[in-house]
Every structure is written in structure tokens, then in C-alpha cells.
């Protein structure tokens, strides 16, 4: 899988891409993150990517032309001569559809995700209307830019790709419904049960005891499994 990020602040991704799990998975060739400076597709000598809004108003708006050119080039680079590339163009906007764990599963099956990060007062709306396949919001609040949303997508999607978090049973475990049957719907919006570790009893002050659940300490796999199922949560359908 390839993540193509289009941004005017590519340097924000340097520490992120060098974080241990992501770095290791990239090295193994499980996925690639390519961060592109939108200004590389600007025509003028000042590398302009923004303009004043039509109708007036404060701030600047990101122009459509460099974004169009960037997307065209990145799509054709990933195209395989043998098969159709399963690719999606995502635009980040607070007016988009809310990102969920289910969406992350959907995205994890793609070959290429091209992400457009806005800044300033946003992006010429024709990008949303004619270029983007999906408009995504990460929550009902307004950020300064789409770079954090891009990192959120990369983290949530990559940890679903086998081999990335080195815990293959993670996915299989969620395939089991409460009745013990395979249940793919559960996988798509499932949040794991809470976790505990040593000590079994923590005493923050004399006479106060914060205990780990008995079932998890029992050594009885059936009981532990039941506790896990009971405390797992479906967060989106």
C-alpha cells in the first residue's frame, strides 16, 4: 500500500515517519509513505498555492490547479500496467464524513491513498466536488491543517495491515462473536477490551486498593475469553 500525502508542510511528517513501528514496517516494504510538497506543482516562480477568496473575506484559499496536477501525477505513478490500482483520493475538511474504525478497515484494503491536506481558510470547493473520492473529517472541531488528520489515517489504517504491529492474532481474535461464530461485522468496528498488568492490587494510599479483575487472574482461558468478549465494544457499524 502507498500513502501519498500532499501538503505545504512536508517537514511535519519527518519524525512521524521515523517512529519505530512505522519505520520498521516501511523498511520491510509492507507500505510506503510518500510526502509531497504541493509547491512542487505550482507554476510561478514564487510557488504560489493560495489566492484571495472570491467574494472577499479574511484569509487565503488553496488553489485547485496545483492540487489537480499533483493528484494526476501521483495516480499515474502508482498505476500498474497489469491491473487496476485500487486507489482513493481523500480530502480533509471539517465538513466531511466522520472518520471511524470501520472506514479504517475499508481503507486498509486499498493499494493507494492520496491525501490532500488543507491549510489557511481551506481549499477551493471544486477539489471537493470534482477531484476527491471522499471528504473526511476527524471530528467536530477545526484544526489549522490536514496534516494531523493524515497521520491519524496512516496510524489507524497501517495497524490493521498484517505484519505491522507484530500481533497477527489481534485480527483473528475479533473474528469471533459472542456465540463463538466467525462474525466479520464485528471486526469492522470493534474496540478491544481494557487491559491490566502487574501489580494485581495497587495501593495509592493506606487502606485503598485498586484491583485488577479476578477473571483475568484466574488462569481459566474460558473465563478470560468471556471477560474479553463482555468488555469489548462495537464502536461503529
Contacting residues toward ligand SAM, per CB under 6 A: 92-95, 117-119, 121-123, 137-139, 141-146, 149
Pick 141 or 210: Cβ nearer ligand SAM: 141
Pick 7 or 112: Cβ nearer ligand SAM: 7
| Residue 13: CB minimum distance to ligand SAM, A | 15
| Residue 200: CB minimum distance to ligand SAM, A | 41
Chain residue whose CB lies nearest ligand SAM: 118
Pick 124 or 188: Cβ nearer ligand SAM: 124
| Residue 80: CB minimum distance to ligand SAM, A | 29
Pick 58 or 208: Cβ nearer ligand SAM: 58
Pick 8 or 42: Cβ nearer ligand SAM: 8
| Residue 147: CB minimum distance to ligand SAM, A | 8
| Residue 107: CB minimum distance to ligand SAM, A | 15
SS (H, E, C) the chain: CEEEEEECCHHHHHHHHCCHHHHHHHHCCCCEEEEEEHHHHCCCCCCCCEECCCCCCCCCEECHHHHHHHHHHHHHHHCCCCCCCCEEEEEEEEEEEECCHHHHHHHCCCCEEEEECCCCCCECHHHHHHHCCEEEECCCCCCCCCHHHHHHHHHHHHCCCCCCCCCCHHHHHCCECCCCCECHHHHHCEECCCCCCCCCEECCCCCCCEECCHHHHCCCHHHHHHHHHHHCEECCC
Amino acid at each position: 500500500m502507498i500513502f501519498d500525502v500532499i501538503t505545504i508542510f512536508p517537514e511535519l511528517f519527518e519524525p512521524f515517519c521515523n517512529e519505530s513501528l512505522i519505520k520498521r514496517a516501511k523498511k520491510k516494504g509492507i507500505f510506503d509513505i510518500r510526502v509531497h510538497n504541493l509547491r512542487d506543482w505550482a507554476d510561478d516562480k514564487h510557488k504560489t498555492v493560495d489566492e484571495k477568496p472570491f467574494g472577499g473575506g479574511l484569509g487565503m484559499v488553496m488553489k485547485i490547479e496545483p492540487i489537480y496536477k499533483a493528484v494526476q501525477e501521483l495516480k499515474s505513478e502508482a498505476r500498474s500496467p497489469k491491473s487496476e490500482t485500487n486507489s482513493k483520493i481523500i480530502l480533509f475538511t471539517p465538513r466531511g464524513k466522520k472518520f471511524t474504525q470501520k472506514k479504517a478497515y475499508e481503507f486498509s484494503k486499498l493499494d493507494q491513498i492520496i491525501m490532500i491536506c488543507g491549510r489557511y481558510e481551506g481549499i477551493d470547493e471544486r477539489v471537493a466536488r470534482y477531484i476527491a473520492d471522499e471528504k473526511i473529517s476527524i471530528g467536530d472541531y477545526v484544526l489549522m491543517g490536514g496534516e494531523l488528520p493524515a497521520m491519524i489515517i496512516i496510524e489507524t489504517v497501517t495497524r490493521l495491515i498484517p505484519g505491522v504491529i507484530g500481533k497477527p492474532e489481534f485480527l483473528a481474535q475479533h473474528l469471533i462473536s459472542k456465540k463463538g461464530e466467525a462474525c466479520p461485522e464485528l471486526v469492522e468496528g470493534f474496540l478491544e477490551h481494557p487491559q491490566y498488568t502487574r501489580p494485581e492490587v495497587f495501593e495509592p494510599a493506606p487502606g485503598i486498593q485498586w484491583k485488577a479483575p479476578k477473571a483475568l487472574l484466574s488462569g481459566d482461558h474460558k473465563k478470560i475469553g468471556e471477560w474479553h468478549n463482555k468488555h469489548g465494544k462495537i464502536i461503529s457499524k
